[in-house]
Amino acid sequence: MRQIFLDTETTGLSAEAGDRVIEIGCLEMVNRRLTGNNLHHYLNPERSSHPDALKVHGLTDAFLADKPRFAEVAQALHDYLHGAELIIHNAAFDLGFLDAELKRLGLGPVSRIAAKVTDSLLMAREMFPGKSNSLDALCRRLEVDNAHRNLHGALLDAGLLAEVYVRMTRGQGSLVIDDGERGGASSDPQARLSDISSLDLPVLAVSEAEAQAHAAMLADLDKASGGKTLWRKAPWAPAAADAAAG
């Protein structure tokens, strides 16, 4: 499934009070790789930004005056988001504004366009309970460089979110493909195990550079998990084998 990292900037904090979207930034990812197929629009909101909002995004009325209205980009946005999984930090905020814009045009909400919406803020709160989980805080915690983020920008923030999301999700729980997804009838995990003892499996030697890259990745995972990884303790792991030999 295509994944779209989405962020908006707005004239204020309340879509219900008439605040509008002034910037939309989206990055596309397929198979955990950014494709470069991005979508980015500045929009004329036909109203001024609240002074506090202006301090955050820096998009002045003069700058936005000649930009398109939301209605002019709505179809392109619909086509871009259609069928994708949207990943949004504090999704309720951005979706509230986008849904309000779509409603003004007599159109349905984003949830009818996208296949799925994932809120990375809720993910972060589960992973790091009791800690600050703003995008800036996550960048610091996960060592994503955001030194260039002096002002908020939708495309910039979508890019930072993509980096944060990849680091939050790189330790998957399982790579097993459920037989149910391939038409299999069994739901018993043991029944899904195949006997591969009779197979002649090739053994491929890794290069020194590949071995070093793998070791660096494991070190990153150790650091990101706070030292909670288990493979170092396994009897076949190099560290465990060295300890036993010593």
- In this model, does residue 147 exceed pLDDT 90? no
Active site residue 152: yes
Query: Domain-by-domain residue ranges, the chain?
Result: 3-169, 217-246
Where does the pLDDT of residue 171 fall: very low under 50, low under 70, confident under 90, or very high at 90 and above? low
Highest mean pLDDT among 141-145, 219-223, 235-239 belongs to 141-145
CA distance 125 to 204: 41
Least confident of 7-21, 86-100, 146-160: 146-160
Q: Which alpha helices (H) appear in the chain, and where do they start and end?
A: 51-57, 61-64, 70-81, 91-104, 120-127, 135-141, 154-169, 189-192, 208-224, 238-245
Q: Is 49 exposed, middle or buried (0-12, 13-18, 19+ CB in 10 A)?
A: buried
pLDDT at 138 over 90: yes
The model's pTM is 0.69
Alpha-carbon gap, residue 11 to 64, rounded angstroms: 11
Angle subtended at Cα 229 by Cα 224 and Cα 233, rounded to the nearest 5 degrees? 150
Per-residue pLDDT, 221: 75
Residue pLDDT, tens place only, 183-196: 444 444 444 444 55
Residue 12: pLDDT over 90? yes
Catalytic residue among 41, 57, 89, 152: 152
Rounded Cα–Cα distance for residues 85 and 111 (Å): 10
CATH 2.40.10.120 fits 3-169, yes or no: no
Query: For residue range 77-135, what is the model confidence (pLDDT) as tens digits?
Result: 999 999 999 999 999 999 999 999 999 999 999 999 999 999 999 999 999 999 999 99
Per-residue model confidence (pLDDT) at position 218:
78
What secondary structure letter does DSSP report for 154?
H
CA 195/CA 211 separation, integer angstroms = 29
Distance CA 100, CA 43 (A): 15
Backbone angles phi, psi at 162, to 5 degrees: -60, -45
Long-range contacts of the stretch 225-230 (C-beta < 8 A, 24+) = 225/171
Q: Rank 68-77, 152-161, 200-209, 222-231 by mean pLDDT and report only the highest.
A: 68-77
